Amino acid sequence: MTGTTQPLPAGRSGRFRRPAVGVRTLILATVLLLAALGMFLAGSSIVIMQRNSLDERLNASLRGEVEEFTAIAKQPDPATGRPYASVEDLLASATQKQAPDRDEAFLALLDDGQTGYKPNFDQFINLETEQAVIGAVSALPADAPTRMREVTTTSGERIRYVAIKVRVPGDPRVGNYVIAQGLDRNAKQISEIATRFALVSLLSLVVVGAVGWIVAGRLLAPLRQLRATAEQISHADFTERIEVTGSDDVSEMARTFNRMLDRLEHAFRAQQEFLDDAGHELKTPITIIRGHLELMAADDAADVEETRALVMDELDRMARLVQDLILLAQTKRPDFVRREPVKVADLMAEVLDKAVGLADRDWRLDEQSPVWIHADPQRITQGLLQLAHNAVKYTAPGQVIAFGSRAGADVVHLSVRDTGPGVSAEDAERIFERFGRGADARRVEGSGLGLSIVGAIAAAHEGSVSLSSAPGESGAIFTLSIPRAAVPASATTVPMAQEVP
């Protein structure tokens, strides 16, 4: 069988390239852009509303002046106590009664272009010299309605004015009463408002940018650590983890990444242990088989038969070893156990029935506890039978091997007791290790993986396995400790009695 290698696709190199623009910068730029847009819209709305408010206030002031002049025209002449006799008298009286604001100006004008009356107070602009205003007002017909108009003066000042056509009974002449308001002051106020808002907005953006940069850095710190950790991880080192302190979504993603690394490290370690164990333990039988085959005399039938028997025995041992290694590797899988409510007393009775066929021993049941566990009955049975098989190896025909159960507060202890020679303190420390065997293990058959498998079964149930063997005393007790479970509701249901007619 042959194989070919292909180059990695572009962008799939072993090292990560730092992005041209970081996520932190993109987030901050987006936030600042949205904030700036919001401030611009808010500022524009404020300026428009202020402009409309000032315009409405100016128009209301002009309408108030028109109403005030109308009221003056209806009153009698203060000098005579009678109705006004001429247009000039009315314009003079109306002008004298005015107290103009800073941006307000008045002009009394006759249709012949002559000033009807000159105000005796200072005004922000002299309308008498503004030919654009005088010409526009003089050109209005006598019956022209009172309307607001705007014009730019010779000094560049923008004004809004109202021209009132004035008539007095008995006087054929027509006068004009002009009231003007300056617009530049209002425009300056609006400009100042816009400038102040822009400065405040700019300062706010700077503050938002600084705070956002710090906050985004703290929130994205797990992502930077994740990238750095991913760059440092190799097939030989899965120990790097991300330090997580927050409780947000990014921190939770970092915790999930750490859990993934735990699973990968666990799986890689199990795979590496499997390969190391298989390579180490299979090397000896392969060497034995190779050596005997090389020394075998092909023309000697007895030597061929003897070598054949030895090779078959070594191959059987290799097969058992491989099977135990595969089973030990499977204990790392999440679906290795399938739990269900199990009644301990019934389980121990079934295990005893199966163990009787292992060897000629005095098989017994010790005291049993009427409790339940949440476990995989097949795996628990496998572990107990493995302990029973070990007990058979170190006991003689007729000796006692007993199964017992004892309930604790949170766990249930499932034990296998034998009356063999026991286990020394030195052996008790290593028999649970892979390929760990006691000092007298050469006399018995086995790979040294049995107790490791039992320990893995217990660990898969969040339990443990332990040994009790007092020095100088015979026998040993191996105990599986499995978390205790509540009695299922179906087990406590009492069936209804059937009535017999």
> Domain coordinates of the chain in residue numbers?
20-74+186-232, 76-182, 249-330, 340-487
Question: Bridge partners of 342?
Answer: 373
Supply the pLDDT for residue 415.
Answer: 92
Of 225, 231, 224, the closest CA to residue 16 belongs to: 231
Supply the pLDDT for residue 364.
Answer: 92
- Tell me the CATH architecture of domain 76-182: 2-Layer Sandwich (3.30)
Contact 426, 303 (CB under 8 A): no
* Choices 1.10.287.130, 3.40.50.720, 3.40.1160.10, 2.60.40.10: CATH for 249-330: 1.10.287.130
Going by pLDDT thresholds of 50, 70 and 90, the confidence category of residue 348 is very high
Overall average pLDDT of the 270-296 stretch? 74
Contact 177, 94 (CB under 8 A): yes
Going by pLDDT thresholds of 50, 70 and 90, the confidence category of residue 497 is very low
State the Cα–Cα distance between residues 296 and 306, nearest whole angstrom. Answer: 9
Residue 11 has pLDDT above 50, yes or no: no
State the Cα–Cα distance between residues 405 and 372, nearest whole angstrom. Answer: 11
Supply the pLDDT for residue 16.
Answer: 47
User: Is 465 in a helix, a strand, or coil?
Assistant: strand
For residue 259, count CB atoms less than 10 angstroms from its CB and return exposed for 0-12, middle for 13-18, buried for 19 or more.
exposed
Query: Is the backbone of residue 237 left (phi > 0), alpha (psi -120 to 50) or beta?
Result: beta
Overall average pLDDT of the 26-32 stretch? 88
Of 104, 111, 112, the closest CA to residue 165 belongs to: 111
For residue 195, count CB atoms less than 10 angstroms from its CB and return exposed for 0-12, middle for 13-18, buried for 19 or more.
exposed
Going by pLDDT thresholds of 50, 70 and 90, the confidence category of residue 432 is low
Of 254, 260, 264, 256, the closest CA to residue 224 belongs to: 254
Residue 440 has pLDDT above 60, yes or no: no
- In degrees, rounded to 5, the angle at the alpha carbon of residue 350 between the alpha carbons of residues 349 and 355 is 100
Residues counted in the chain: 501
For residue 361, count CB atoms less than 10 angstroms from its CB and return exposed for 0-12, middle for 13-18, buried for 19 or more.
buried
Whole-angstrom distance between the N-terminal and C-terminal Cα of the chain? 78
Contact 170, 85 (CB under 8 A): yes
For residue 105, count CB atoms less than 10 angstroms from its CB and return exposed for 0-12, middle for 13-18, buried for 19 or more.
buried
Going by pLDDT thresholds of 50, 70 and 90, the confidence category of residue 337 is confident
State the Cα–Cα distance between residues 303 and 287, nearest whole angstrom. Answer: 18
Supply the pLDDT for residue 146.
Answer: 83
The most distant pair of C-alpha atoms in the chain lies apart, rounded to whole Å, by 164
Contact 246, 219 (CB under 8 A): yes
* 3-state helix/strand/coil string of 428-448: HCCCCCCCCCCCCHHHCCCCC
Contact 465, 431 (CB under 8 A): no
Question: Class for domain 340-487, per CATH?
Answer: alpha beta
C-alpha distances in angstroms, 292 versus 7, 202, 265, 299? 45, 90, 41, 15
Provide CB contacts within 8 A for 344, sequence distance 6+.
368, 369, 370, 371, 372, 373, 405, 407, 412, 414
pTM given for the model: 0.46
- 20 versus 452: the higher-pLDDT residue is 452
Of 398, 500, 408, the closest CA to residue 463 belongs to: 408
pLDDT tens by residue, 400-417: 999 999 998 899 999 999
* DSSP at 440: T
Supply the pLDDT for residue 206.
Answer: 92
Supply the pLDDT for residue 3.
Answer: 40
State the Cα–Cα distance between residues 35 and 43, nearest whole angstrom. Answer: 12
What percentage of the chain reaches a pLDDT higher than 90? 13
